[in-house]
Structure 1
């Protein structure tokens, strides 16, 4: 897959993400029946399959042209400024959980003090907080290890002028580093969703999609102003 065809894929993928965001936002929360809860689960599976499709396609593109994936010309300058190895930093997922949990907790503080359970991200249990915290620690370790791999790859830049074979080998290594980073991104997303109830998972997926959409929208407007 060429960088051009991946750019087209990304535009289509992102458009469909907006469609899924609309479905997530329209979902009944909290679910009042087993049927409504089942519908949330189906919707969550649909969104996760969409992310699966993205990273599966990106993995192929990364092996074919890792430099283009690293540069990401289909992204805005703002998005690229926030990139960690051709994509979002996995630990952002935890910041989203904590931020949304705090905001929702404060907005429902009166109900919570009265013993009313909201069931959303503001209603995370102590056990959930512990598991999220442990997952965050594990993810940070993996992030650091992959960052070190990229650093070593960059330090070997002087070796790239030795010949075509060496250059091809270096590009193959870069492709594997990008794929490894994407694998961590996807595993982190799935792990966080797995720690949440269906209602909380929908809240989290909405926050994630809105963050991506908001940054991209702001970045597009910024790039348009710069090009005038």
Structure 2
């Protein structure tokens, strides 16, 4: 028994070691398996996120393509409508809806004055664009001062034509001219008494006229200040007219009128209001005179080439406003 006891202890130790090694090996295998499973799970989750992101990108790209396609279609539709309108205006001129004489008078042969002016203004704008393109080509080709002077004088005379046209149209429908319904929406945002503010236009031109001599700078600054003062006076006069007109319409009693006295009072109010409205035409005429005189005075201050650059800048500014209106009307609406 003494001989066998040590052997038994040794066998037990060996079995225990083997068992521990087997346990540790199993534990390591379990940990490795769990780790592999976790990695695969993370990999799977990462793949799902990538797939979702790719799907979202594809959907966003698809929607972007659809919006772009709709936008292009609306632009094309707007272009077709503009072309159709131009054709209708051309047919209207050919049919004699509006006849422009060579003298100081232009009048509507049929239809109302607003339509007649819109047709004639479209013709004026088309001719103005041709003259502007001619001036731009002359400037880019470094034409002589004499050649430039002839084109510049032609454009200045063309501006005189539109002021004359507006004066004639105002006699037929002063509200149409003052409201600027013959202009595009973006142009109407900057409208002042049926046209542009001379002082604001001079501010826009300053960067395009450099370099200016000291004498020219003083002349432009004085012209801008005088224009601003005249604008303020006309604006105050128009506000006073509106206030007076509102007070005239608000005087007396409201509601149903039955007695002869009420009817007479009502007719008297309307007669006074009509008389005050008649002065609107005078405000429009004075505003256009200010615009015309400002442009002529600017032309006298500047050299021929500076005047050419100023006229091109003015034309480009209003052309961009018209283009902005077209883009705004054709914008995608989701």
Q: Does 1:27 align with 2:133?
A: no
Check whether the contact 1:91–1:136 (CA below 8 A) recurs between aligned residues: yes
Q: Deviations over 1:6-39 (max 9, x none)?
A: 111111111111111101111146967xxx2111
2:180–2:191 contact (8 Å) kept in structure 1? no
Secondary structure in structure 2 of the residue aligned to 1:27: helix
CA offsets, 1:137-173, max 9 Å, x none?
Answer: 1111101111111111111122257444323322220
Report what 1:107 is aligned to.
none
**How far apart in 1 are the matches of 2:191 and 2:128?**
19
- Shift, 1:76, TM fit: 1.8
Q: Which of residues 30, 46, 62 in structure 1 aligns to 2:170?
A: 62
Q: TM-score, normalised by structure 2?
A: 0.58
Match of 1:88 in 2: 196
SS at match of 1:91: helix
SS state at 2:220 partner: helix
The farther-off stretch of 67-76 and 182-191 is: 67-76
1:108 aligned residue? none
Distance 1:76 1:29, change over 3 A: closer
Q: Which has the larger radius of gyration?
A: 2
Q: Write out aligned runs for 1:189-204 (5 A).
A: 189-204=295-310
Does residue 289 of structure 2 align to residue 183 of structure 1?
yes
Q: Do structure 1's residue 153 and structure 2's residue 264 form an aligned pair?
A: no
Alignment of 1:30-45 (within 5 A): 36-45=144-153
Equivalent residue for 2:184?
76
Q: Is the 8 A contact 1:63 1:172 kept in 2?
A: no
**Aligned equivalent of 2:320:** 214
Contact 2:245 / 2:273 at 8 angstroms: preserved in 1? no
Among 160, 169, 172, which residue is 2:278 paired with?
A: 172
Unaligned 5+ segments in structure 2 are 1-107, 250-265
Match of 1:129 among 191, 205, 217: 217
Q: Which residue of 2 aligns with 1:118?
A: none
Give the root-mean-square deviation of aligned CA atoms: 2.1
When the two structures are aligned, how many residues end up with a matched partner?
Answer: 205
C-alpha distance in 2 between matches for 1:71 and 1:131:
32
* Unaligned residue ranges in structure 1 (runs of 5+): 101-120
Pick closer, same or farther for the CA change 1:29–1:123 going to 2, 3 Å.
farther
Structure-2 residue corresponding to 1:110: none
Measure, in 2, the Cα distance between the counterparts of 1:227 and 1:61: 36
Greater CA drift, 70-79 or 136-145:
70-79
